[in-house]
Amino acid sequence: MRDPRSETPGPAAAVPAWLVEWMVAHGISLWGAADLREFPTPADATGGRFPRAVSFAVRMDPGIMRSIRNGPNRAYADEYAGVNDRINALSAALEGEIRGQGFRALALAASERTDEENIRGDFPHKTAATRAGLGWIGRHCQLVTRPFGPWVRLGTVFTDLPLPCGPAVEEGSCGGCARCVEACPAKALTGNGWSPGAPREELLDARACDAWKKEHYRQYHGGHNCGICSAACPFGR
């Protein structure tokens, strides 16, 4: 088995024209490649891990996002599920395209909690997104992008397709803003700023966030939806 840490894109690597065309055809304007050689990615069917990932963002409806400043609603829950479904379909299609080009690929589910005890999935989409240069992690522990703020959902497809990666985002741009911290009804945000490699606990008490949603918003996907902190972010508005 090859060690993905030994694989490099090489100085001649360039974004394939077919990949650019695929993104344009599917209406994806914010995407990039992430160097993940230092991260434990999920493995493929042979047990091999991946040196890179294609990360992309799909925008949430701005009107719906503005409507949840005081709490989630049915429109937001439906939009959340619909965008996730779209991302899963796009990721599966992209995985197939990359494999058709002769490279390994593995799509990551858009929003799937596989570790209930630690409230985590198989791999953080946000890690791939920051390494691909799509944005930074705000005080609300969500990716913040320049064009759309945090009003996005993320897709990730792991691969060994040679691609130019990054540049990775190495610092946040929230400045002194703490509107998300002030808006959080669960008081789950610490107010600390993000830096690469910082543990999630420095930004977010995930258990407090999860408990509040399950107590107050269980009608929305079993308490997996809130979005108040995201709605408060001025980069979205």
Token pair listed for 158: 């792991």
pTM higher than 0.85? yes
* Domain contains 236: no
With cut-offs at 50, 70 and 90, classify the pLDDT of residue 1: very low
With cut-offs at 50, 70 and 90, classify the pLDDT of residue 113: confident
* Domain contains 167: yes
Average pLDDT over residues 68-87: 97
Is the distance from CB of 155 to CB of 55 less than 8 angstroms? yes
Q: Is the pLDDT of residue 213 over 80?
A: yes
* Domain contains 7: no
Chain segment 193-209, per-residue pLDDT in tens: 999 999 999 999 999 99
pLDDT at 116: 75
Higher pLDDT, 12 or 81: 81
With cut-offs at 50, 70 and 90, classify the pLDDT of residue 112: confident
Domain range enclosing 173? 12-231
* Domain contains 64: yes
Chain segment 40-55, per-residue pLDDT in tens: 999 998 899 999 999 9
E strands, the chain, where?
30-35, 52-59, 105-108, 136-137, 143-144, 152-159
Q: Is the pLDDT of residue 215 over 60?
A: yes
* Domain contains 237: no
Chain segment 165-201, per-residue pLDDT in tens: 999 999 999 999 999 999 999 999 999 999 999 999 9
* Domain contains 1: no
With cut-offs at 50, 70 and 90, classify the pLDDT of residue 6: very low
With cut-offs at 50, 70 and 90, classify the pLDDT of residue 4: very low
pLDDT at 5: 44
pLDDT at 237: 80
Nearest-angstrom CA–CA distance, 82 and 79: 5
* Domain contains 173: yes
**Percent of the chain, pLDDT > 90?**
86
Total structural domains within the chain: 1
Is the distance from CB of 51 to CB of 33 less than 8 angstroms? no
With cut-offs at 50, 70 and 90, classify the pLDDT of residue 117: confident
What does the chain come to in residues?
A: 237
Token pair listed for 96: 């197939």
* Domain contains 147: yes
Chain segment 122-153, per-residue pLDDT in tens: 899 999 999 999 999 999 999 999 999 999 99
**Percent of the chain, pLDDT > 70?**
95
Is the distance from CB of 175 to CB of 232 less than 8 angstroms? no
Residues near 156 by beta carbon (within 8 Å), at least 6 away in sequence: 53, 54, 55, 91, 107, 108, 123, 125, 128, 129
